[in-house]
Amino acid sequence: GPSGRNVHDLLELAITTAGAAGTMLIDKRPADLRVAHTKSSPTDVVTEMDQAAERLIIDRIRASRPADAFLGEESGAAAGASGVRWIIDPIDGTVNYLYGLPDWAVSIAAEVDGEVVAGVVAVPTRGELYTAARGEGAYLVRRDGSTEKLQCNAGVPLERALIATGFGYSAQRRAHQAEVLLGVLPRVRDIRRAGSAAVDLCSVAAGRVDGYFERGPHEWDIAAGGLIVREAGGSIGGLNGRPASVEMTISAGPGLYEALHDLLVPLSPERD
Ligand code: IPD
Ligand code: CA
Ligand code: CA
Ligand code: CA
């Protein structure tokens, strides 16, 4: 039933909900968004779109599953009794959304008893939907319905690796991120900063980049993408065996993951 823990039911609901949010975000995006935003106050039109999308997502899920818990970037935590928790980033890559750049995503993950079992990252401007169910692989479904099973690149040496990264928004964190980057850049093929952690993780899963690291991502940035990467044969984690977190999130296929981790450990400052 609708309050059950069936992974396929959870994944299906995440897919339809992310699709609805993506359509709304494209249809309702004001044409002059960037100009309006530049002129406006802290409670601005971008924030309104983030909040509207999160409301749409939570309302839709709650309508069929009233006992579930939620963690959303915009609304925070809401408790529930079902053992299912939804982790939501309504727009991951807000700055891209603001500027009309294509790489932003709706990210929805479903957890059962604290473990992510289903994840969806929708990239509406590209007509791409990335999905994963635990133990069942990761897939890219295109607008035309064509589906591709995802597989991370394996065995890429560090010096030939294309590495995605991101920068959080606090100035202090950025100073530390720049320090880490100084140590990484000379050691890899090149760096990409797409502007969405969820898209970065899907790019690792699809083999479009070889790896990803970032100091600063939150749970909602990486919950769905993390499952997608693992189901594509890759790893995601933090420093010295700790889980992926604000401190550091590292993701790559086998071989490169260990090399990237070992490069990052001595570069990483103790705290932000
Ligand atoms: C941000 C994006 C960005 C990453 C930041 C995130 P937001 O999320 O994922 O790529 O570098 O750490 O905060 O604010 O656009 O949802
Ligand atoms: Ca985000
Ligand atoms: Ca966001
Ligand atoms: Ca944000």
Out of 9, 50, 68, 73, the active site residue is 73
User: Does the residue 1 lie in any domain?
Assistant: no
Q: Examine the domain organization and report whether 133 and 263 are in the same domain.
A: no
Residue ending a domain, choose from 128, 149, 170: 149
Domain count within the chain:
2
Ligand in nearest proximity to the CA of 95: 1
Give the domain extent around 69: 7-149
29-68 confidence digits (pLDDT tens) = 988 887 777 776 655 667 889 999 999 999 999 999 999 9
Residue ending a domain, choose from 149, 166, 201: 149
186-223 confidence digits (pLDDT tens) = 999 999 999 999 999 999 999 999 999 999 899 999 99
Ligand 4 mean position to 160 CA, how many Å? 32
Regarding the beta carbon of 93 and ligand 1, being less than 6 Å apart is answered yes
Q: Examine the domain organization and report whether 30 and 101 are in the same domain.
A: yes
pTM of the model: 0.96
Residue ending a domain, choose from 129, 149, 169: 149
Q: Examine the domain organization and report whether 140 and 184 are in the same domain.
A: no
Q: Examine the domain organization and report whether 75 and 14 are in the same domain.
A: yes
- Report which of 170, 168, 14, 149 is spatially closest to residue 86, judged by C-alpha positions: 14
**Distance separating alpha carbons of residues 52 and 133, to the nearest angstrom:** 27
- The whole-number pLDDT of residue 272 equals 57
Q: Which of 87, 99, 199, 221 to mutate to test the pocket of ligand 1 (most atoms within 8 A of CB)?
A: 221
Q: Examine the domain organization and report whether 211 and 122 are in the same domain.
A: no
User: Does the residue 45 lie in any domain?
Assistant: yes
Out of 57, 91, 222, 236, the active site residue is 91
Q: Examine the domain organization and report whether 143 and 11 are in the same domain.
A: yes
**Distance separating alpha carbons of residues 185 and 226, to the nearest angstrom:** 24
**Distance separating alpha carbons of residues 150 and 131, to the nearest angstrom:** 10
Ligand 2 mean position to 93 CA, how many Å? 6
Q: Examine the domain organization and report whether 18 and 145 are in the same domain.
A: yes
Q: Examine the domain organization and report whether 169 and 138 are in the same domain.
A: no
Out of 89, 111, 128, 210, the active site residue is 89
**101 pLDDT more than 70:** yes
User: Does the residue 178 lie in any domain?
Assistant: yes
Q: Examine the domain organization and report whether 137 and 169 are in the same domain.
A: no
Regarding the beta carbon of 223 and ligand 1, being less than 6 Å apart is answered no
User: Does the residue 272 lie in any domain?
Assistant: no
Active site residue 272: no
The domain that holds 17 is classified in CATH as 3.30.540.10
**270 pLDDT more than 80:** no
User: Does the residue 2 lie in any domain?
Assistant: no
Active site residue 89: yes
Per 3-state DSSP, the chain is made up of helix, strand and coil in percentages (nearest 5) of 40, 25, 35
Q: Examine the domain organization and report whether 19 and 138 are in the same domain.
A: yes
Ligand 2 mean position to 134 CA, how many Å? 22
Per the structure block, which two tokens stand in for 46? 């971008």
Q: Examine the domain organization and report whether 190 and 209 are in the same domain.
A: yes
The domain that holds 224 is classified in CATH as 3.40.190.80
**Distance separating alpha carbons of residues 163 and 208, to the nearest angstrom:** 10
Ligand 4 mean position to 57 CA, how many Å? 16
Q: Which of 44, 46, 92, 181 to mutate to test the pocket of ligand 1 (most atoms within 8 A of CB)?
A: 92
Q: Examine the domain organization and report whether 144 and 34 are in the same domain.
A: yes
